[in-house]
Amino acid sequence: MGVPMARRLVAAGHEVTTWQRADGVPVATAVEGAELVITMLSDPAAVREVLTAALPGLRPGATVVEMSTIGPEAVRELRALLPPSVALVDAPVLGSVGPAADGTLTVLAGGDVTGCRAVLSVFGRVRELGPLGSGAAMKIAVMSALVPAQVLLAETYAYGEAHGVDRDALAGVLAATPLGPLAERLRTPSQETRYSLAHAAKDLELGAWAGASMATAARARLQEAKAAGLGGRDVTAIAEHVAGPVGGGPGSRAVPLNLPAIPATNGAYSHAVRVGDMLYVSGQAAFDERGEVVGDSMTVQAEHVFQVISRILADQGATFEDVAFIRTYLTDMEDRVEYREVRSKYITGTPPASTTVEVSKLFMPGLRLEVDLIVALPAR
């Protein structure tokens, strides 16, 4: 989404600096001097991480426009994170890559858009919805209807197939109902990823509040499909999963997980493996996308490791409160006080079962720690 949106800004005559993790450029350097900073990232943890890194470069009077789908609670956390001299607008969008390229997105804006209305209009229709957080709340509310409806239709097609109902005939009947356009999309799952199944699951993880029985059930279906390896597919692939789950059914095997948003492994292991409602996280260490060690102090390396872990947990709808066991390898036990200070920022409640050991060295020179975990994933 970010790439076609940036292209539209350039085409509209704006001076644009883009940033991606793989660039190797510090975020603070990328945003330095900018009047307007737009974030379009995968989840709340990613937004919080990037904007925290951007703080030294944000100039007084700048405006941050948060366009990811992160929910109103995360927007309030960002307001607390940013200095008072930096304005914040939440403006998630409705639409996928095609509308992003065409400038036909619907922008759901919360907060004072006076200083960014013209820029937001480059992306499509701007709907000003009220105070800060209104746009984020509206986006989650809308997706809490649209995503479960697609899961429902996937189950509808599966029921029809199981009872000898012709798929095209069923789609034809549904076409005459309010669900017609969505039914047509689900009839033949898209091979092009317009809105990924993983992002749909994440949106429902944000929106499945305690009383949301339908959103909660749909979230469980999507999480099963994601664990079965369909996260990168279009959300319409849920129809294939419901009709015949990959690997003999959800929870029936170990499912390796490798996240594109964190440094890749060397191919000899996976970032984590999910088995049913348990998540086993491989040892995480402080190295970047280029395979280079991040920082030379325990504080810097531990902060990096826990940021990576937070991304893995968020990908599976979990938090540090769900960690059942954590094991830490230190190359110098004298660093344990610095390590504990960082860890306590992330593990704030009742501590999990824990083991900390000193080792002579780790797999890469310069590494000071490695952390692995066992996580009890939230009930579906």
Helix (H, G, I), strand (E, B) or coil at 324: strand
Looking at the domain 138-248, which fold is it?
N-(1-d-carboxylethyl)-l-norvaline Dehydrogenase; domain 2 (1.10.1040)
CATH number, domain 255-376? 3.30.1330.40
- Banded model confidence at residue 349, pLDDT cuts 50, 70, 90: confident
CATH class of 2-132: alpha beta
Strand order in the sheet with 272-275: 255-257, 272-275, 278-284, 369-376, 323-330, 353-358
Look at residues 282, 284, 280 and name the one whose alpha carbon lies nearest to residue 294: 284
Instruction: Read off the pLDDT of residues 257-313 as tens digits, 9 standing for 90 and up.
Output: 888 778 888 888 999 998 878 999 999 999 988 889 999 999 999 999 999 999 999
- pLDDT band, very low/low/confident/very high, at 87 (cuts 50, 70, 90): very high
For residue 257, the model assigns a pLDDT of 84
Domains of the chain: which residue ranges? 2-132, 138-248, 255-376
Model-wide pTM > 0.75: no
In the predicted model, what is the mean pLDDT of residues 51-70? 96
Task: For residue 293, give Cα distances in angstroms to 50, 247, 356, 364.
Answer: 19, 37, 21, 8
DSSP lists the bridge partners of residue 64 as: 37, 88
Name the phi and psi angles at 110, rounded to 5: -125, 140
pLDDT at 245 over 70: no
In terms of DSSP bridges, do strands 369-376 and 323-330 run parallel, antiparallel, or are they unpaired? antiparallel
Largest distance between two CA atoms of the chain:
70
Q: Percent of the chain scored above 70 by pLDDT?
A: 97
One-letter amino acid identity for 345?
Answer: K
First-to-last alpha carbon distance for the chain, in angstroms, is 29
Compute the CA torsion angle 185, 186, 189, 193 (nearest 10 deg). Answer: 60
Distance CA(68)–CA(108), nearest Å, equals 11
CA separation for the pair 181, 77 (Å, rounded)? 37
